[in-house]
Structure 1
Amino acid sequence: MKMTQIKIDEFAKCLREERFYDAHEALEALWFPRRSEKSAEVMLIKGLINAAVSFELIKRGRIPQSKKVWQNYLKYRQFLFKIDSPYLNDYYQLSRDVELLAQKLN
């Protein structure tokens, strides 16, 4: 299994378990080496990391900060519709999972 798939699966598992810091770390491993790229996939990963950070801030009771970081997720979410990746279906599922979790936590 490719590292990207492993980290996507790890991110999803961490979200389900509400281990948001670990979710952030999972995708950070994919994003960090490619952070200077401006591809839609890299930007979307950055957005998903922001979603996990927002959830962790909610968990810590830092609501104003979480709302600010959530806006970053929303800004990068649009790249989902511009992406060309073998992981497209996984990214769609992650986006749905993130949106459902946001409804639950807010």
Structure 2
Amino acid sequence: METTTELFYTATLENASGLPAAQREQAEKRYCKALEKALGDSAKVARACRAWQTAADSEEASIDRETATLATLWLKAADLARQAGMRELGEDSGAYFDLRLH
């Protein structure tokens, strides 16, 4: 039996020139795994990211409680995921993760 998981986002490591492809892919996997560990499946990661985007683009008074809560969760999860993804890459070279929602 084959199962298919729909991906609601993709993450790429940017500004990491000179990094071998295998090492880049492992960093991206660690980043995604940490996001999903903190937030849930791919759909929940996308939902939290959208909430953060909405909160960032809105007046504080116009943000509902659920969006504010999800946005706060996103910030914490994204920081933990960044740390996990960058682990084993050495010094901070200005590299960052770009998350694209589908």
Q: Specify which structure has the higher proportion of helix.
A: 1
Which interval holds the TM-score relative to the shorter structure?
A: 0.3 to 0.5
TM-score (norm 2): 0.34
TM-score (norm 1): 0.33
Higher relative contact order (CA 8 A, sep 6+): 2
Determine which structure has more spread, i.e. the larger CA radius of gyration.
Answer: 2
Q: Specify which structure has the higher proportion of strand.
A: 2
